[in-house]
């Protein structure tokens, strides 16, 4: 069973590519979604978050105090790195458990892990190959603003915390171009063939 990472900058269309894979019956591990869930369910991770941000890191109902944590990590690269050093190992453990729990009747030889910061987190080391989803910066900016209801400056700040597209493309094993010029389904089929 091969584990294939899917990454790309904010607004590149990673989720769109993953939707095509799901329609074809492939399993997708959504690292960002799982990381959010683990922050309120994984005891070891929660303990680390409390140690880093204080007891107020969690609301009385047990949910993560996203506003407080966001304020503390925004513009503080060291604090953000400290948080990532807690979250990434927990997500890696969860991913390995997810792979191990693959149903015996799963009909494919590929599993996919979608992660916005696959390279930045070092998660590419757990992958047998990586697909980068590419879209021009202006397209990504517009998509992210529309999707998240945020300003251009906020999207630009997020983009600044991710690898540049050229670096991601140079490192990837396969690139899918989601620029409106290249249809996605044939590229997804080509990626499957490439890694199979």
The reported pLDDT for the residue numbered 154 is: 86
For 162-176, what is each residue's pLDDT tens digit?
899 999 999 999 999
**Confidence band, pLDDT 50/70/90 cuts, at residue 157:** confident
Class of residue 40 by CB neighbours under 10 A (exposed 0-12, middle 13-18, buried 19+): middle
Single pTM value for the model? 0.91
Measured distance CA(149)–CA(134) in Å, rounded: 22
Interval 66-98: pLDDT, tens: 999 988 987 788 999 999 999 999 999 999 999
CA dihedral 84, 88, 94, 99 (to 10 degrees): 150
pLDDT tier, 48 (very low <50, low <70, confident <90, very high otherwise): very high
Helix (H, G, I), strand (E, B) or coil at 126: helix
Encode pLDDT of 7-35 as tens digits: 999 999 999 999 999 999 999 999 999 99
Please give the pLDDT value at position 161. 81
Q: What is residue 50's predicted lDDT score, i.e. its pLDDT? A: 97
| pLDDT for 70 | 86
d(CA 161, CA 18): 23
């Amino acid at each position: 069973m091969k584990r294939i990472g899917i990454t790309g900058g904010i607004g590149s269309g990673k989720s769109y590519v993953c939707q095509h894979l799901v329609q074809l019956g492939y399993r997708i591990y959504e690292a960002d979604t799982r990381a959010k869930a683990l922050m309120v369910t994984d005891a070891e991770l929660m303990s680390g978050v409390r140690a880093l941000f204080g007891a107020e890191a969690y609301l009385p109902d047990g949910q993560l105090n996203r506003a407080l944590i966001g304020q503390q990590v925004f513009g503080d690269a060291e604090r953000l790195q400290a948080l990532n050093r807690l979250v990434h190992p927990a997500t890696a453990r969860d991913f390995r458990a997810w792979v191990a729990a693959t149903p015996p009747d799963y009909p494919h030889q590929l599993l996919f892990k979608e992660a916005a910061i696959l390279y930045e987190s070092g998660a590419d080391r757990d992958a047998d190959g990586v697909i980068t989803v590419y879209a021009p910066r202006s397209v990504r900016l517009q998509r992210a603003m529309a999707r998240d209801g945020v300003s251009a400056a906020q999207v630009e700040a997020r983009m600044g915390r991710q690898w540049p597209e050229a670096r991601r493309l140079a490192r990837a094993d396969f690139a899918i171009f989601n620029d409106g010029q290249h249809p996605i389904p044939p590229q997804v089929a080509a990626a499957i063939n490439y890694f199979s």
